[in-house]
């Protein structure tokens, strides 16, 4: 719901409100974001009468603007905090002063030009127009308020109404001026194989920031920033979350001054960004989705999950059972050929798998090094003398679908495409460009490059009927010089690169609407709402060790639904951690995700092979619950650096997914290290129906799901009231790295 009354805008979702007001001088101020309000605010939260030093009277511009809670601050006219918009003209920054002009409210949500964005019908859009007449520039601040969930989204359109070209030096989407005493900032950071590690930093005067300048959202930082009150737990306290619908460089920052006023900003990273806005043109900034919860971090996560499922993911696969697949990467790395794939296919058929994904290496000569072939995208003769035909025919016979790996943004120097078009690669004139995995970045600002790469991918899909592609991206952008763009548009490369990725994925989905895309970036380096608009699942991490996954998954689940998280059963011993974990535990833990196998199934022991059909069946039976259920974090495994301000981290990890009607739930529990002479954990479940009776089965292997007599615990008729209030007493679980799945029905 959106209301406008006496210069105030009140935006309300079922449980939250957001309030703005225009002050007497025409500045748009931010008053409130938090628990829902049903009456307009009456106090002066703009603090118009306060006189911050060194001013001598209220409203004196410099000190006043430096403390005014701006809805959208710009540079150079008296607010010295982080600003959102910087405009230059002929190399000079002249300042920008956006003053209120008017507003419109409309039903529904407009699409954003060339950008992924949330969508929906049960929502309203508010556009507030600000203008700077001196510059001849107008700014439309866009807000969409959703009625079915606690989410408000924001984006902006800058319009150059002047007669000369201008440059956007900085264009951040969101600003939120707030008073956040005692709050902490949540950021997600990490590295390859340790993505999405959440950290909490208490707010003090100064800056807490999260950012990527790599051209992708990156391992080091996820495009998310959150705030939690000092007492927050998973169920209590206040939490705010801001997630960027963008897959490139970004900035999220909380800047607090000595008066205790905090400014949170989020948007495209100004590093390597400069956009030429020609006279008469407009520029749309990517969307930020934001939510508030007065019921702790858990509700914040559930708000994100619901919204992402209903209003970000478009794929026809969203609610369908996704294929249970085997991917040959960790099975073979680059050393495979058609015969090896046929061997895997035959085992896959016996085990009941749906799909084989052919990973990196099918187009390269090398069996060892990732070098050559990127950009050509044709099966290499030495591994596929008859192309994909023998594999395609065998798969057809066995009724198994096929998927194929691409890294479309890259080019190898050893490729026909590079030999024909060296100008397709980004590189500074006169400097040898930096290689990473022996590869260069393609210039995605060049439409010919996009068309060429599109055709190469589409040809393989058309010829061999691939129903899935894994779109990988394994290096950051540097040497960002385009032979296609003119000199004064070189600052657009990073932004245009991401637009190019979106454009190809959109075109693929137009030509192949049934295509399942799984995005990936060296594991989970580009896991964001932008990519989810094109693919309902993203590869979470190359680290599939169930113990390592605990923190990777917890961090990812803080924002994204479990149904979006690529998860496979890894080999024993795990290649990254060297850890030995039973096939049963690896299987049960990977079920909390899209599920598949990433090991040489043709070499599995008889014993493990026999377990596969039950694991696959169990994943299929839980599919609806995992895809549509509600997520509750019951316990966080104690690890370095991670502490929700009001909670204690424990010696075990526990996560629950419960159906919306509370009739069934699945709970994943793992205590990585056995503690001698310890007691069984007592866990309190969530989301059940108090008066209902439940059967509880605790299993250490998938087979026990179908033969409950072999389960670790099998109890009948425990009330929801008991399970939620008194808890469930688990038996002591012996051994290290053992996980159990608890089924409540």
363 or 405, CB closer to ligand DGJ? 405
Tell the smallest beta-carbon distance from residue 520 to ligand DGJ (Å). 5
Number of Cβ within a 10 Å radius of residue 432: 8
Applying the rule CB under 6 A, the residues between 114 and 143 that interact with ligand DGJ are none
| CB of 245 or CB of 525, closer to ligand DGJ | 525
- From candidates 17, 213, 474, 540, binder to ligand DGJ by CB under 6 A: 474
| Residue 196 token pair | 């999405």
- Binding piece for ligand DGJ, criterion CB under 6 A, among 387-395, 515-523, 707-715, 731-739: 515-523
657 token code pair: 């997914």
Contact call for residue 216 and ligand DGJ (CB under 6 A): no
Measured between alpha carbons, how far is 256 from 81 in angstroms, rounded to an integer?
A: 9
Q: Which stretch binds ligand DGJ (CB under 6 A): 316-324, 517-525, 548-556, 647-655?
A: 517-525
Please report how close the Cβ of residue 219 comes to ligand DGJ at its closest, in angstroms. Answer: 11
Task: Give ∠ CA 350-356-360 in degrees, rounded to 5.
Answer: 145
Contact 230, 182 (CB under 8 A): yes
Rounded least distance, CB 522 to ligand DGJ, Å? 5
Interface with ligand DGJ includes 615 (CB under 6 A)?
Answer: no
Which residues touch 563 (CB under 8 Å, ≥6 apart)? Answer: 309, 536, 537, 594, 626, 627, 628
**What part of residues 320-349 is at the interface with ligand DGJ (CB under 6 A)?**
329
701 tagged catalytic: no
Q: Is 616 helix (H, G, I), strand (E, B) or coil?
A: helix
Site residues for ligand DGJ, window 14-43 (CB under 6 A)?
none
Taking alpha carbons only, the member of 657, 658, 656, 654 closest to residue 670 is: 654
What is the CB-side half-sphere exposure of residue 291 using CA atoms within 13 A? 30
Please say if 542 is a catalytic residue: yes
When CB distances to ligand DGJ are compared, the closest residue is 360
* Catalytic, out of 414, 542, 543, 623: 542
Shortest separation between residue 439's beta carbon and ligand DGJ, angstroms: 10
Least Cβ distance, residue 524 to ligand DGJ (angstroms): 8
522 forms part of the interface with ligand DGJ (CB under 6 A): yes
Report, in Å, the least distance between residue 335 CB and ligand DGJ. Answer: 13
Q: Which stretch binds ligand DGJ (CB under 6 A): 158-166, 173-181, 507-515, 520-528?
A: 520-528
- Residues with Cβ within 8 Å of 389's Cβ and at least 6 positions away in sequence, in order, are none
Q: Which of residues 227-266 bind ligand DGJ (CB under 6 A)?
A: none
Residue 405 in contact with ligand DGJ, rule: CB under 6 A: yes
Is there a cis peptide before residue 573, judged by omega within 30 degrees of 0?
yes
In this structure, what token pair is assigned to residue 712?
Answer: 């670790």
Residue among 61 and 437 whose Cβ is closer to ligand DGJ: 437
User: Judged by CB under 6 A, which of 360, 443, 653, 701 binds ligand DGJ?
Assistant: 360
Contact in structure between 700 and 743 (CB atoms under 8 Å): no
262 close to 203: Cβ distance less than 8 angstroms: yes
Phi/psi-derived region of residue 193, left when phi > 0, alpha when psi is between -120 and 50, beta in every other case? left
Decide whether 70 or 329 has the Cβ nearer to ligand DGJ: 329
Bridge-partner residues for 439, per DSSP? 412, 436
| Contacting residue, 542, 548, 608, 703, with ligand DGJ by CB under 6 A | 542
The reply on whether position 523 binds ligand DGJ by CB under 6 A is: yes
- β-strand 630-635 against 596-597: which pairing, if any? unpaired
Q: Does 377 bind ligand DGJ (CB under 6 A)?
A: no
Phi first, then psi: what are they for 589, rounded to 5°? -70, -35
Q: Residue 520 or 733: which CB sits closer to ligand DGJ?
A: 520
359 binds ligand DGJ (CB under 6 A): yes
Q: How far is CA 637 from CA 549, 566, 675, 676, in A?
A: 11, 21, 14, 18
Buried b (16+ CB within 10 A) or exposed e, 434-466: eeeebbbbbbbbbeebbebbbebbbebbeebeb
What is the DSSP-derived secondary structure letter of residue 704? H
Residue 403 is a binding residue for ligand DGJ (CB under 6 A):
no
Instruction: Mark the segment that binds ligand DGJ (CB under 6 A) among 298-306, 507-515, 518-526, 736-744.
Output: 518-526
The rounded Cα 633 to chain-centroid distance in angstroms is 18
Count of residues engaged in binding ligand DGJ, rule: CB under 6 A? 12
Does position 472 bind ligand DGJ by CB under 6 A? yes
460 vs 474, beta carbon nearer ligand DGJ:
474
The CA distance from 292 to 306, in Å, is 14
Q: Does 370 bind ligand DGJ (CB under 6 A)?
A: yes
Active-site pick, 472, 608, 623, 653: 472
- Binder among 471, 494, 512, 539 for ligand DGJ (CB under 6 A): 539
Please give the C-alpha separations between residue 643 and each of 226, 652, 674, in angstroms, as whole numbers.
Answer: 14, 14, 22
Structure tokens at 182: 């005692």
Shortest approach of ligand DGJ to residue 567 CB, angstroms? 12
Query: DSSP string covering 391-402, please?
Result: HHHHHHHHT-EE
Name which position in 520, 547, 634, 743 contacts ligand DGJ (CB under 6 A).
520
Catalytic residues: 472, 542
Which residues contact ligand DGJ by CB under 6 A?
329, 359-360, 370, 405, 472, 474, 520, 522-523, 539, 542
């Amino acid at each position: 719901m959106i209301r406008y009354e006496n210069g105030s805008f009140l935006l309300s979702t079922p449980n939250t409100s957001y309030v703005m007001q225009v002050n007497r001088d025409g500045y748009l101020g931010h008053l409130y974001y938090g628990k829902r309000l049903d009456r307009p605010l009456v106090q002066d939260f703009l603090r118009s009468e306060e006189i911050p030093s060194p001013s001598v009277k209220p409203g004196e511009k410099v000190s006043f603007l430096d403390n005014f809670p701006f809805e959208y601050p710009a540079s150079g006219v008296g607010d010295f905090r982080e600003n959102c918009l910087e405009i230059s003209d002929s190399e000079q920054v002249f300042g920008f002063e956006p003053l209120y002009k008017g507003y419109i409210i409309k039903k529904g949500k407009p699409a954003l030009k060339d950008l992924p964005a949330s969508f929906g019908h049960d929502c309203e859009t508010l556009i507030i127009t600000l203008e700077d007449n001196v510059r001849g520039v107008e700014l439309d601040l866009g807000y969409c308020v959703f009625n079915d969930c606690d989410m408000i989204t924001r984006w902006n359109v800058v319009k150059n109404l002047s007669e000369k070209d201008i440059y956007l030096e900085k264009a951040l989407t969101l600003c939120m001026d707030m008073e956040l005493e005692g709050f902490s900032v949540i950021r997600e950071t990490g590295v390859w194989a340790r993505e999405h590690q959440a950290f909490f930093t208490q707010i003090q005067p100064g800056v807490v920031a999260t950012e990527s300048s790599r051209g992708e959202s990156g391992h080091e930082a996820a495009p998310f920033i959150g705030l939690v009150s000092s007492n927050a737990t998973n169920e209590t306290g206040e939490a705010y979350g801001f997630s960027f619908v963008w897959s490139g460089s970004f900035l999220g920052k909380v800047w607090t001054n000595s008066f205790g006023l905090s400014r949170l900003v989020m948007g495209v990273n100004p590093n390597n960004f400069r956009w030429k806005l020609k006279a008469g043109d407009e520029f749309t900034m990517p969307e930020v989705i934001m939510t508030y919860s007065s019921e702790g971090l858990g509700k914040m996560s559930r708000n994100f999950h619901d919204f992402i499922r209903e209003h970000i993911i478009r794929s026809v696969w969203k609610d369908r059972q996704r294929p249970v697949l085997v991917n040959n990467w960790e099975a073979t790395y680059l050393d495979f050929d058609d015969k090896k794939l046929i061997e895997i296919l035959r085992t896959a058929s016996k085990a009941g798998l749906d799909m084989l994904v052919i990973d990196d290496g099918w187009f390269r000569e090398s069996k060892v090094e990732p070098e050559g072939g990127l950009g050509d995208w044709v099966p290499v003769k030495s591994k596929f003398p008859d192309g994909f035909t023998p594999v395609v025919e065998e798969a057809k016979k066995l009724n198994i679908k096929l998927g194929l790996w691409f890294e479309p943004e890259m080019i190898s120097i050893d490729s026909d495409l590079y030999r024909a078009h060296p100008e397709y690669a980004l590189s500074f004139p006169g400097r040898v460009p930096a290689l990473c995995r022996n590869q260069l970045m393609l210039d995605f600002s060049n439409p010919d490059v996009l068309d060429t790469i599109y055709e190469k991918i589409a040809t393989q899909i058309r010829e061999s009927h691939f129903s899935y592609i894994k779109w990988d991206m394994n290096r950051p952008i540097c040497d960002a010089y385009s032979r296609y763009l003119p000199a004064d548009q070189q600052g657009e490369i990073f932004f245009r690169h991401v637009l190019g990725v979106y454009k190809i994925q959109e075109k693929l989905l137009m030509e192949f609407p049934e295509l399942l895309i799984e995005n990936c970036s060296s594991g989970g380096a580009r896991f964001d709402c932008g990519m989810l608009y094109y693919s309902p699942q993203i590869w979470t991490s190359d680290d599939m060790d169930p113990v390592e996954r605990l923190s990777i998954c917890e961090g990812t689940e803080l924002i994204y639904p479990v149904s979006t998280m690529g998860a496979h059963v890894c080999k024993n011993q795990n290649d990254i951690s060297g850890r030995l974990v039973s096939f049963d535990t690896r299987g049960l833990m990977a079920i909390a995700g899209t599920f598949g196998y990433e090991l040489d199934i043709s070499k599995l022991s008889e014993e493990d092979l026999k377990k596969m059909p039950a694991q696959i069946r169990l994943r299929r039976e839980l599919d609806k619950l995992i895809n549509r259920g509600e997520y509750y974090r019951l316990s966080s495994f104690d690890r370095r650096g991670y502490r929700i301000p009001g909670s204690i981290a424990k010696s075990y990890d526990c996560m629950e997914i419960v159906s919306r009607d509370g009739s069934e739930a699945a709970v994943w529990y793992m205590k990585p290290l056995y503690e001698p002479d310890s007691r069984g954990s007592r866990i309190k479940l969530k989301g059940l129906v108090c008066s209902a009776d439940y059967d509880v089965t605790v299993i250490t292997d998938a087979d026990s799901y179908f033969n409950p007599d072999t389960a670790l615990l099998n109890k009948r008729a425990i009330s929801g009231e008991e399970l939620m209030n008194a808890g469930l007493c688990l038996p002591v679980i012996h051994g290290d790295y053992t996980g159990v799945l608890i089924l409540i029905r």
